[in-house]
Amino acid sequence: MNKIEILKKLPYAEPFLFVDELLDIHSEGAVGKFTFKRDMNFYRGHFKEVPITPGVILTECCAQIGLVCLGIFLLGKDIDETPLQIGMSSSDMEFYIPIYPGETVRVESEKVYFRFGKLKCRVKLFNQAGELACKGVLAGMLKSERNGK
């Protein structure tokens, strides 16, 4: 499955899609980018004087690129035309520096394991200057109707 096919299989749409581009994907990990547009709704209230991207949104961006895109790749041809079912089972993230409106981030993931439909990954999110903004470990369950995975 190629990068474009993976993006088409994502079960998200704006305003909750946090993947613009997949740069690399293989059996051991994924790399992708997303730009946090200045007019995204959550910036109006988080924080009103100097808006920054909420940690939960950074975690979601890491999950969509590093966990879900990789999971779709790993399921490959076993995914049919029915919607992919995804459930986050755990997250442990550490945050170091803020991500501001208008920044393009890069997410890198490394597979820890994938078995019985559960995928666990180490993820890192870098700001557009290449500085580590957050990192952690995410895990989730992925299942397509046809294969039960």
- Tell me the catalytic residues: 46
Please give the Cα distance from 87 to 4 (Å, whole number). Answer: 23
Residue whose tokens read 């994502």: 10
Give, in order, the Cα–Cα distances in Å from 146 to each of 68, 78, 143, 149: 18, 7, 9, 8
Please give the Cα distance from 81 to 52 (Å, whole number). Answer: 37
